[in-house]
Amino acid sequence: MRTAKVTRATAETDISVELTLDGSGAYDNKTGVGFFDHMLDQLARHSLIDITTRAKGDYHIDDHHTVEDTGIALGQALAQALGNKKGIRRYGECHLPMDDAQVRCALDLSARPFLVWNVDLPTPKIGTFDTELVREFFTALATHGGITLHVDQIHGFNSHHIAEATFKAVARALRMAVEVDPLTAIIDYESGNLHSAEKAFQRMAREGGAGTVVVTSDPDVVAKADRLVLPGDGAFPACWKALFDHRGIFEAVEDSVTRKGRPFMGICVGMQMLASVSREYEDTKGFDWIKGEVVRITPSDPALKVPHMGWNDLVLDTPHPVLEGIGMGDHAYFVHSYHFRVATPAHRLAHCDYAGDITAIVGRDNIIGMQFHPEKSQAAGLRMISNFLFPAQNFLENSCYLTRVQFCDAQIRPPATQPFIFSRSPDSTSLPV
């Protein structure tokens, strides 16, 4: 967990701050300055950063030292919780309206502190709170948090609304910046349709508002990736040989998927390699991650040709987060002569009819495979790619969460240290959960 606790004691103040970056927006702020507590509550709530503050200050003079020193301690705690900042989005922005007020914030967790402040609070006080302290707080936060912080007031005449819009805009920009930027690796072993897969995954990552997609044959990059995609075109034995000719790739994939529980998608032959064995040309062992065998398609209608090539309707068999929003009859694009005959019916998520059932999608735990090409399957395929990148449901806990920045009002997110598990199946104990 990315957490921090900072205490600061001076001749004027005694401050303690605790925060959790991967929180739910919980807050408990008691600084002795009522309006400031209200603003800190909004900062926590809209950033989804849990914040607890306690402060004692020289209130008999004014609130300046209390507000400024709280900003210093909060900035230090933020920097401490971020650590080396590895894998975070780093940049954040928000354009936020509140009644008459409209405030824009852009920030960079760069370790290069700088404040650009174009905010005009028209009254000297909000209740008993000195409005000039809003700037003092953000100056301290940016300086000690290592933040390049730009805040611009677009509209507004009510000081309360302007101040609150400012705290909320900064909070939402912070939320974006501190999030871990997920890396999806499309594995290049010279046997997959990489270009179209890369374009489709990058498009959906971009539309989802987060995530980096790379094509790689580097085992180190594969090991660091949060999600893995294994395409595959051609014959099973040739793909299998090509994969293992690239030293270290399979070992990195196996470790990520079976030990770390990271989501994996196999496409076409990449899906078939999940099986125990393939019967194509010769018996070739598979990963054995989903029990079953890859066998030749044998349509009962001799007029139907093999390979099975073209569009076919999907028949859904087993619910799955990647199938969210996919309906009976949605179609996908197939090009194959062999298909996956699963040993456990629950592992067949969807099939199609080609004068007999053909397995279209398999899945268990954090693993899913598609016989068709989702990157070529228009709206349905892109939806499944998006669901894989941004899953909306954790079957293991039978609970839902939203991971896209756009859906931040849910104020729910999975713990950063918890591996994502797609679904529990009857024999899921062979994989860590």
Q: Is 123 buried (19+), middle (13-18) or exposed (0-12) by CB count in 10 A?
A: exposed
First to last CA, the chain: 18
Instruction: Let me know: does 351 contact 369? Beta carbons within 8 Å.
Output: no
C-beta separation of 140 from 115 below 8 A:
no
Residue pair 368/391 in contact (Cβ under 8 Å)? The answer is no
Closest CA to 361 of 421, 392, 317, 311: 317
Angle between helices 159-178 and 132-145 (to 10 degrees): 10
Q: Is the Cα torsion angle 138, 139, 145, 150 positive or negative in sign?
A: positive
* Burial annotation 7-16 (CB, 10 A radius, 16+ → b, else e): ebeeeebebb
Give CA–CA dist 236/242, Å, rounded: 10
Active site residues: 268, 373, 375
| In 143-219, beta strands by DSSP E | 148-155, 183-187, 212-216
Main-chain dihedrals φ then ψ at residue 305, nearest 5 degrees: -90, 155
Write out the two tokens for 84: 């080396």
Return the SS3 of 300: coil
Residue 193 burial class via C-beta count within 10 angstroms: exposed 0-12, middle 13-18, buried 19 and up: middle
How far is Cα 227 from Cα 208, in angstroms, rounded to an integer?
15
Residues 131, 146: Cα–Cα separation, whole Å? 24
CB proximity list for 116: less than 8 A, separation 6 or greater? 149, 150, 151, 152
Which residues have C-beta within 8 Å of that of residue 11, sequence separation ≥ 6? none
Work out the burial of residue 230: count CB atoms within 10 Å of its CB; fewer than 13 is exposed, 13-18 middle, 19 or more buried.
buried
